[in-house]
Structure 1
Amino acid sequence: MTSLAGRTALITGGGSGLGAAIASMLHGAGADVVLVGRDEAKLAAVVADLGERARWEACDVADPDSVDALHARLSEVEISILVNNAGVPGPVADLVDITPAEWDDVFGVNVRGIFLLCRAFLPGMYERGFGDVINIASVSGKRPLVHRTPYCASKMAVIGLTSTLAFEAGPRGVSVNALSPGPVAGPRMERNFRLEAERSGGSAADAEAAFVSRSALGRMVTEEEVARAVVAILAMPGLCGADVDLSAGMVA
């Protein structure tokens, strides 16, 4: 595994799921980790499991004041790896049944959050002439996913933000890449399958089977696979402006 000793990684949405898995993988590779999120109890539990070289900070990534306060608290910490993982799935519904508040909530976390974190922590990377930003997008930003318009639109925005920011940050020594997982096995996808079953009148098992049938491997990816992909991206210094697909062949 790539050694990340001496580097500090900030992972948003670090209290559970992908964020916790990514934090654990980066920590295992030698990096110090700062877990960021809104649920202090979950963050504290993950940090307790990781032990030394791990800390947590409460922050609402969609709130500029909260992000500014986070940056101030970490002013003495050299964040050289920023993993923008925080995200919300949003509603499962026809677009005409989605409220503006639901739409804004998805974009607030999934897109605005990345903007605010990059805005806060990129200047330090620029000053040092070194760093990595990895934005967690989704294959749903590249292919249709019926009844998930705000989520899909937000993830397409993340891919566009990444490719453009790479040309701003690259000349300053900072690599910016996106990682687009396919459906990740776990509670979030189970929720989506239940909601789709309620909407369609079918079963959650049928919704899941129809979904995974679209992938070449006929399955979902795991949290560990996504976390390993983050470390792999960091091991490829020539990678910049890329959108790495990790979907078990969902968009093959």
Structure 2
Amino acid sequence: MTTAAGTFDAIAAGPEDGRPVLFLHGFPQAAITWEFPVSVLGRAGCRAVAVDQRGYSPGARPATVAEYGVAELVGDVLAIADELGWSRFDLVGHDQGAAVAWWVAADHPARVRTLTAVSTPHPDALAEAVRTDEDQALRSAYLTDWRSTGTERRMLADDAEAVRRMFEWSVPPSRVDEYVRRLAEPGALTAALNWFRAGRAGGRTGRVSVPTLYVWSTEDVAFGSAAAFLTERWVDGPYRFEMLEDVSHWVPDQVPEVFTALLSEHLVGH
């Protein structure tokens, strides 16, 4: 689909007039991480759409770091929804996609029917945990390295061994191969890393008033329990917290059936 920012690749399922559900992926993934829930919701009568976000879609890959700020990423979500003719929609995000989803839900509650955030806590809960919890500060230390020059070369060296290690044992090898293939396209990894390099100049995220499901897994290497448990303080609307035991950061790829059941319950309940 095409907006003022460019052309976004997407996968979709379900009737055009079905309940609209928009999925946002994280790093270093793509819309295909959502194939299972998109298919299930489509068969259930929803209109489920998952997009390759800014920088991941070749047709929407701006060159400068400044073009990957909070305002731009939030603007993409609203523009995509507008292009689809959705005045109100359910929003689902994982990893960086969840951060964007939190921002959209906080700033544009009239547009978001429900929020489902996977892995990534509310950004202000995460910021507090980084300040006050040594464990979370250590978990977040990788961000400094990823923002530095030369990260692309290190990540793609030796058939992208560094990227492959991120997924460990928890994502099917064929799926990892596809992620790596996409990141190896000219400019793709730089665009993905520009999300981190742009930072979060917008400051605080604000409270969320829409019905929210937050899914966190105990083996997540990026986000510890402190930030996960703090998230509830930033949600004023109906809130459900689901903790998945013995599951890695890569929830949508590792346990798609479990996640889709939780999402379906959340949508039915609201």
TM-score between the two structures when normalised by the length of structure 2: 0.42
TM-score in terms of structure 1 length: 0.44
Between 1 and 2, higher relative CO (CA 8 Å, sep ≥ 6) is seen in 2
